[in-house]
Amino acid sequence: MKVLEIIQKSAAFLERKGVESPRLQSELILAHVLGLPRLQLYLNFERPVPEAQEEKARELVRRRGTREPLQHLIGSASFWGLEMLVNRDVLIPRPETELLGERARDFLRTWPGDTPRILDFGTGSGCLAIWLASQFPTARILAIDISPVALAVAAQNARRHGVGDRIEFCQHDGLPAPGEPCALVVSNPPYIPSAEIATLEPEVRDHDPRAALDGGPDGLDHYRHLALAAPAWLAPGGRMMLEFGDGQAAAITGLLHFQKWIVEPPIPDYSGRERILAAGR
Ligand SMILES: C[S@@+](CC[C@H](N)C(=O)[O-])C[C@H]1O[C@@H](n2cnc3c(N)ncnc32)[C@H](O)[C@@H]1O
């Protein structure tokens, strides 16, 4: 078949399977298989695709039709242009988290010392820790996760991006006993209320790790823990910056106030929903 025919057939198939943006997804899969940037497909619509590659594309489209995420099929996700290896052991990095990283970077640019210490709670793929390490070449980072298999992926990503020597990976349930104080405590913790997980899209519900989603009965377990335990990790003048779910800003602000944090107004994402809070002592 030719490039355009494969795209059209794949898109029709994915649409029947309820996949969002079926044409785009088909193009991304075929571009991956052919080893081309997606837009190059447009210059090659009439090109016949060798049988082995057609077969490979068909297999990936079939798997995408079972609602396996595209990032798992191609094995990576981009975080501010850095390729992060991803698999079933780690949450696929989301665009909102890029915004959290950007706000964290803006804060760290104002930090007076030139070797900021950063704590990333619930590091997952390591996207935040690794991107911040790449932005601040002398920063040292403690990246914590309860999941040893997630930490293995994060460490691999850190080595790939040449920052493995500045990130210490630590397996721990919650924050460990306080160590060297940090300019920044950053976290995108699990925040889905347990009972809502069953209602999520199959790509998330069946393929992201449960430990990366489940925030307890009201979704706020980890914010309560951080509000209580993070002050001991924070250097004077430091900030805690947190991502959370749509509609959780007021509750999280309340529980931070309860632990005597000074909380800045919530920061909206690109669609105007409040998704990030910064707080200090
Ligand atoms: C929503 S994911 C965030 C991953 C990554 N930071 C990102 O933004 O893409 C939350 C992470 O917190 C970890 N986690 C869950 N419970 C934890 C706990 N009690 N202590 C430490 N980490 C935990 C999960 O394993 C998961 O990797």
* pLDDT tens per residue, range 208-237: 999 999 999 999 999 999 999 999 999 999
User: What is the overall mean pLDDT for the chain?
Assistant: 97
Q: How far apart are CA 281 and CA 94, in angstroms?
A: 28
Is 155:213 a contact under the CB 8 Å cutoff? no
C-beta neighbour count of 65 within 10 angstroms: 18
Question: The domain spanning residue 53 has which CATH number?
Answer: 1.10.8
- Shared domain for 23 and 104, answered yes or no, is no
Q: Are residues 61 and 80 in the same domain?
A: no
Domain end call among 20, 35, 66: 66
Does 95 map to a domain?
A: yes
User: For position 165, which CATH number holds?
Assistant: 3.40.50.150
Residue 224 is predicted with a pLDDT of 98
Question: Ligand 1 pocket, 174 CB below 6 A?
Answer: yes
Q: Which of 46, 66, 86 is the last residue of a domain?
A: 66
Which of ligand 1's atoms lies nearest the C-alpha of 123?
6
pLDDT of residue 215: 98
Q: State the pLDDT at residue 270.
A: 87
Task: Report pLDDT for 70.
Answer: 98
**Mutation choice for ligand 1 from 120, 132, 222, 241, CB with most ligand atoms inside 8 A:** 222
Mutate to test the pocket of ligand 1, among 120, 123, 269 (most ligand atoms within 8 A of CB): 123
| pLDDT in the model for residue 210 | 98
Percent of the chain with pLDDT over 70: 100
Q: What's the pLDDT band for 114 if we cut at 50, 70, 90?
A: confident
- Going from the Cα of 147 to the center of ligand 1, the distance in angstroms, rounded, reads 8
pLDDT range class, residue 142, cuts 50, 70, 90: very high
pTM: 0.96
Nearby residues of 243 by Cβ (< 8 Å), 6 or more positions away: 96, 97, 100, 187, 188, 189, 191, 275, 276
Domain-ending residue, one of 36, 66, 96: 66
Give me ligand 1 centre to Cα 114, in Å.
28
Residue 144: inside a domain, yes or no?
yes
Distance 27 CA to ligand 1 centre (A): 31
- Coil, strand or helix at 15: helix
Domain range for 167 is 76-280
Q: How large a percentage of the chain has pLDDT more than 90?
A: 99
**Which amino acid residue places its CA nearest to atom 11 of ligand 1?**
122
| C-beta neighbour count of 62 within 10 angstroms | 14
Report whether residue 157 contacts ligand 1, using a CB cutoff of 6 Å: no
* d(C-alpha 18, C-alpha 24), whole Å: 14
Q: Is the CB of 133 under 6 A from ligand 1?
A: no
Residue 71 lies in a domain: no
Whether residues 150 and 244 share a domain: the answer is: yes
| Tally of domains in the chain | 2
Query: Averaged over 145-166, what is the pLDDT?
Result: 98
pLDDT-derived band at 240, boundaries 50, 70, 90: very high
Cα separation, 163 vs 143, whole angstroms: 12
**pLDDT surpassing 90 at residue 113:** no
Question: Are residue 54 and residue 88 in the same domain, yes or no?
Answer: no
Do residue 50 and residue 7 come from a single domain? yes
